[in-house]
Structure 1
Amino acid sequence: MLYDYTAKVREIEEQLLKAMARSLSLPEDSFVIQFGERPSTYVRFNYYPPCARPDLVIGLKPHADGSGMTILLQDEQVEGLQLLKDDQWFRVPIMPYALMVNIGDQLEIISNGIFRSPVHRALTNSTRERNTLAVFCAPDPAKEIGPVEELIDEKRPRAFKNIKNYVESYFHYYQQGRRPIDAVRL
């Protein structure tokens, strides 16, 4: 069942990547090509138990995803996801039976910063547990990624270096509380 679910999510991801490329007047396979023949898929079940003092405990610290794209199935009843915008936290409402799509650092690199990887966090709830299922879709770690050439010009110069196996360096910076994408920013 999980295998079938992730296979369907990968189909959704590919269609989204094609639509995003078309939205920028690029050939539709421009982003898909960068993910390579063997894109990576990681699945994580998140369990946030009830916490008597949610004001003191964060379920997952603020971060941006190191994936290319993260597709999240949220808890149907308990909120907890928040996005950071303009130094203010905003709650992400629950939409039953909907998938939430989050751009990851690697797609920000590939799009030369046009599509941004948002900083987000997960909060605990004082009385109820929260469960989510995240599918992280990423380029093949053996493949070098970088900004699509058509997205680089005088008005929008190259913003990132090319990199292989971004996830490996991601966790190094994440553990230090730093934004991993800053390490490849020019």
Structure 2
Amino acid sequence: MPVSLLDEVREMSKEFFKLPLEEKEKYSSKGDDLEGYGNTNAVQRGSLNWNDKLHLQVYPEEKRQLLCWPENPQHFRTTLHEYSKKNLMILRTLLKAMARSLNLEEERFLELWGDENEDNTHARFNFYPRCPMSDQVVGLKPHGDGTAITMLLQDKEVEGLQVVKDDRWFRVPVIPHALTILVGDQMEIASNGVFKSPTHKAVVNPQYDRMSLAMLFIPSLDKEIGPLEELINEERPQLYKRLKDYGQVYTQSIPSGKRPIDMMKIN
């Protein structure tokens, strides 16, 4: 992917979130719909989420709600389309490599994800305004992604992503011209727990604004996701149930505060 495209995506993101509120609200989410502009500056389980978002479905193309796609900046739509195509190419390369690493057929994970005509890809632009009370708010509360894979374009200069390892939070460094790959819950399920979906959060900076763009790769709701038969054996029995539409489990788990993937485990 050209470095210039990464910089262009970052710049257009900043330009959009700098627009007057009445301009951004032209692309607002309608009702409970995820699509469009909005914010999650609300108290959830004792912590204040502090961010604005622009959530857009990019694949399948016929599902794009173009009324939510900004026309300001002028190049926004064409740039997002080009960036989405490049991300899909990277996804396919990544899934083949992940399958080979488990001694699976190269196309095995691609049978579950990677078809832009069936599977869903969403772009979530995040803007985290600077906050002098940064110790009292969180950009995005701790969570795991309900995706197969998330490709994250971080801010070029300001850190904010943190992940849990061994019950400790670790900062994820900014690498200006790289994408950060996060394994999602559905990949953990399909790999029968070999690949782990990390708990992560976004923190707010007291002095600087920060942006990120997450590309969320999710299988078609009609596809059944479960541990691949090749990865189930006596040493590693089946760890997760099989299901369609993991998004329903994800949504239902939010009030409980539990990680949705824990609801999929076979005791």
Q: Distance in 2 between matches of 1:36 and 1:147?
A: 18
For 1:20, the aligned partner's letter is: M
Superposition map of 1:65-76 within 5 A: 65-76=145-156
Instruction: Give 1:95's aligned residue.
Output: 175
Runs of 4 or more above 6 Å deviation: none
Instruction: Give 1:48's aligned residue.
Output: 128
SS at match of 2:262: helix
- The answer as to whether partners of 2:224 and 2:242 remain within 8 angstroms in 1 is yes
For 1:83, the aligned partner's letter is: V
Which stretches in structure 1 are left out of the alignment for 5+ residues? none
SS at match of 1:118: coil
SS at match of 1:168: helix
Count the aligned residue pairs: 186
Which stretches in structure 2 are left out of the alignment for 5+ residues? 1-78
For 2:240, the aligned partner's letter is: F
Q: Distance in 1 between matches of 2:119 and 2:82?
A: 16
1:21 aligns with 2:99: yes
Give me the TM-score of the superposition, normalised by structure 1. 0.97
Q: Distance in 2 between matches of 1:108 and 1:175?
A: 22
SS at match of 1:90: strand
Instruction: Give 2:73's aligned residue.
Output: none
- Give 1:36 shift: 7.0
Residues 95-148 of structure 1 show CA distances to partners (whole Å, capped at 9, x for unaligned) of 001000000000000000000000000000001100000000111111111111
1:5 aligns with 2:83: yes
1:162 aligns with 2:214: no
For 2:174, the aligned partner's letter is: I
1:184 aligns with 2:248: no
Match of 1:112 among 179, 188, 192: 192
Instruction: Give 2:21's aligned residue.
Output: none
RMSD (Å), alpha carbons = 1.0
Instruction: Give 1:171's aligned residue.
Output: 251
- The answer as to whether partners of 1:83 and 1:119 remain within 8 angstroms in 2 is yes
Q: Distance in 2 between matches of 1:122 and 1:149?
A: 35
Superposition map of 1:74-89 within 5 A: 74-89=154-169
Q: Distance in 2 between matches of 1:174 and 1:22?
A: 34
Instruction: Give 1:32's aligned residue.
Output: 110
- Give 1:174 shift: 2.7
